[in-house]
Chain A
Amino acid sequence: MIRIITRRLAEVAVFLLLITFVSFLFARMAPGDPVLSILRVDDLSVSAEQVEQLREDMGFNEPLLVQYGEWLVDFARLDFGNSYISNQPVMDMLWSGVPATLELTLGGLFVMVLVALPLGSLAALYRGSWIDQVSRGLSLLGAAVPSFWLGLILIDLLGVRLGWLPTMGRDGLHSAVLPSITLGLAISSVYVRLLRSSLIDSLNQENIRAARARGISEPRIFFSHVLRASLPPVITVFGVSLGSLIGGVVVIEVIFAYPGIGKMVVDAIRSRDYPMIQGYIFVMAILVFVINSIVDLSYRYLNPELRLKGKGRV
């Protein structure tokens, strides 16, 4: 176990170094620097000389590698700097947004499970029947509908017309319901199809037929054998698509004014707030790593063969 953890830590260190370097290069090679945003040229009087002076002071005229080196030294001291725009410590800002983003991600996953599990299972169990058709139709529809549109429809229906749920902000659990449903519905279409095909595979396995022959009840066969056997592929895909899931939260955060880190980074990119962008990438890398590790562990749990062999990464 200790060996696995040490190896993982070494991996994550290399991974972080790589990802911060690449993101640093990409951010700075893009046209524009934050000097004009910092000086608020849009509503405060500034001279060209002052712009150039600040550019010089902030080191933007230095070669890229020197700039990255300086960043790395600060990073090694766990100093992520202050946001150029709000002047607050980047890490404080980001960590304050992480709970909201995690909340939405988990809420979305919860809804996804509630939707995909029954729909996918029914479609597999009644393969070819109208239930299957309907479930496939729904998942196709789900894949085609953009999540911001779905969000606005849900706001209109459940918030405006029915008045059941708050449509924006983050005031306790109830305000997470609508954004979670939106996110959950948006991602479930993939998993309905995946679960269906994975279940069909499992249902056709020898051991299931054997279990049936032994007279074990259908629900028991389904829940303790079929479902369990069909989950690993689903979880694998989940692990891989996690990054895009968290990325997708951004749109939801904007529509529902849910104060997560996605919204923050959109602003940061717009104003070329480098410390924020770098901090975001760092936090996301860690989040994705942690959740991936959890996925990995659950995968081992579900697939005892891997546990025994001691190699679980996908």
Chain B
Amino acid sequence: MKKLLVLLAALATMALILSACSESSAEGGEDAAKEVNLLFNFATNSLDPHVDTSYVPLRAGIAETLVYLNDETLEIEPWLAESWSSEDGQNWTFKLREDVTFQNGKPMDGEAVKASLERAMTDNIAIKNALRIESIAVEGPELTITTTMPFPEFPSELVHPNTSIIDVSETDFINKPIGTGPFAVASFTPGTAVDLVRFEGYWDGAAKLEKARFSFNEDANARSLALESKGADIVFRPEVETVEQLEAIDGVTVESTSTFRVHQMTMNLQRESLKDVHVRQAIDALIDRDMIAETILSGHAEVATGPFPSSFSFAPDYPEKKRGIDEARKLLEQAGYTEQDGVMQKDGEPLTWTLLTYSARADLPLIAQVFQSDAGQLGIEVVIEQIEIPEEHMAANRDWDLTTYSNLTAPRGDAGYYLNATYHPDGALNFSGADDNKLTAMIDELNQVVGQEQRSDIAEEIASYVDEQMYNSFVLHPNTLVAYNSDKVKNWTTTRSEYYMLTNELDVE
């Protein structure tokens, strides 16, 4: 029996040793090359820039688009295209840079760009829908693009990563797309990482890094731990709860940057109580934004005054509003409601709202609960209902009053996308059921106007009108968190669009 015991003990020890020692050479070689490992929060199984929904080829500096969204001015700038113009908003001329080659040495010329855009539209129905291109004609370095209808925000749509320009005469789009960016694909492990090498012939000056790794992990805790273990140098969206812990580490910097996203309270304008603007204003007044930003998002958010972050040229200066429970009560009184026996009511009917929320964005159900509790203090019963896919549910069911919803409002620096989708009667995200002739006419006008400045003016007017009518109420713009090893990584910029990550400027010490 003793022998047996010894044998089993030996077996167990061996198991432990085996599992612990099977690899000790994983580290090392780190300082040999100038290299950075960026850990991102969405995995991808394909590097095809035209369909990949994680936008890795653009983010990893493999491919580039015709136009670039400047993060500071929030304006559209030349990138692979040198300039563009249109008189009628339907016929567009794009002049391409002439000194750009793909990573395989072939020139990025008019024909290549045309072929690339055409492939993007064939393989990606969403892009085909968004670009509305009817024809593309090539003459030297000039591209003449005709859209199916006047489409003034066309250049801004070309910021979209799925319109990246690649050499489509190469065929392994999934594993090795050939773009014009500062980094070429060395190897790709779907779902895990893409390894990159410097493209010496990059038109804007070869990258400072020799190599880079763009890896994925969808678990926020695991990402934070990866930075701690120095397995990653730059980590996107670490767990909010670990931020303090990360900041306490020597040499780790955490950046909190506002985004183009807004958390909003979508109102169903077809519901009786919400037809009254005073009631909608009361809802707006009830939302304690500062408290929500501080407690639910630990301060990593910008309080929203409208759909667009205040730095956009088309975000108006909204008139100062009174907020709080007393203000809400006053507004409800104007709408004919009175509080009796602790119940807010009108003509003997108590005021109740059904509030939809969903867990895909963890902060939204919490915002719903805060609102429920605040409304409760006014004698309004708020019934919270959890739904799964908000877009589906809101479109198919109309028996709800409010929804906590999150939306990108100007992903490509133009207000057209959000205003059309959300407030035009024909918009796919018009869950409020907004059908206001004045508003529709203003959006239609926006859709005719070419030129960023003029468009901004009209968009600003529309935003002001939406605020006046309080068609939706805007809560906050959540921040993006990026933590990185600032002892090692140099020239890192957290862009608000989150489109541009690995650049030729990025460096290590």
Contact = CB atoms under 8 A, between A and B. Distances in A.
A40 B411 CA distance: 12
Interface in B23-37: 23-24, 26-27
Contacts of B157: 44-45
Interface in A76-98: 85-88, 93, 96-97
Interface string A157-181: 0111001111111110111010011
A11 interface: no
Interface stretch (A15-23, A110-118, A233-241, A298-306): A110-118
Contact of A166 (B216, B228, B231): B231
A49 B216 CA distance: 36
Contacts of A100: 191
Interface stretch (B92-100, B295-303, B308-316, B419-427): B419-427
A217 to B, nearest CB: 8
A2 interface: no
Interface stretch (A64-72, A192-200, A249-257, A282-290): A249-257
Contacts of B46: 86, 88
Given A31-B389, A48-B428, A54 B225 contact: no
Nearest to B229: A160
A219 B7 contact: yes
B125 A32 contact: no
Nearest to B8: A118
Given A36-B392, A45-B421, A87-B51, A259 B222 contact: no
B8 A121 contact: yes
B15 interface: yes
**Range class of the B interface residue count:** 35 or more
In this complex, the member of B19, B127, B225, B411 whose beta carbon has the largest number of chain A beta carbons within 10 angstroms is B19
Nearest to A100: B191
A242 interface: no
Given A44-B417, A152-B221, A168-B222, A259 B428 contact: no
A151 B219 CA distance: 11
Contacts of B1: 125, 218
B268 to A, nearest CB: 16
B438 interface: no
A50 B8 CA distance: 67
Nearest to B42: A267
**Range class of the A interface residue count:** 35 or more
A169 B421 contact: no
B393 A166 contact: no
Contacts, number: 207
B229 A159 contact: yes
B430 interface: yes
Contacts of B226: 167-168
A134 interface: no
B428 A40 contact: no
Contact of A256 (B222, B417, B421, B428): B222
Contact of B11 (A39, A88, A114, A163): A114
A54 B125 contact: yes
B416 interface: yes
A38 interface: yes
A294 interface: no
B22 interface: yes
A46 B129 contact: yes
Interface string B217-257: 11101100110110100000000000000000000000000
A168 B225 CA distance: 10
A122 interface: yes
A31 B392 contact: yes
A218 B420 CA distance: 81
Given A45-B421, A47-B427, A48-B427, A257 B129 contact: no
Contact of A40 (B5, B53, B216, B426): B53
Nearest to B389: A32
Contacts of A41: 391, 421, 428-429
In this complex, the member of B129, B191, B389, B411 whose beta carbon has the largest number of chain A beta carbons within 10 angstroms is B191
6 contacts: A46-B130, A48-B426, A50-B129, A86-B48, A170-B191, A175-B23
Given A96-B190, A111-B19, A177-B22, 9 more contacts: A39-B428, A42-B408, A118-B8, A175-B26, A256-B222, A257-B192, A258-B191, A258-B192, A259-B43
Query: Which 9 A-B residue pairings sit nearest by Cβ, starting from the closest?
Result: A259-B191, A174-B23, A114-B15, A257-B217, A160-B229, A32-B392, A46-B428, A44-B130, A40-B126
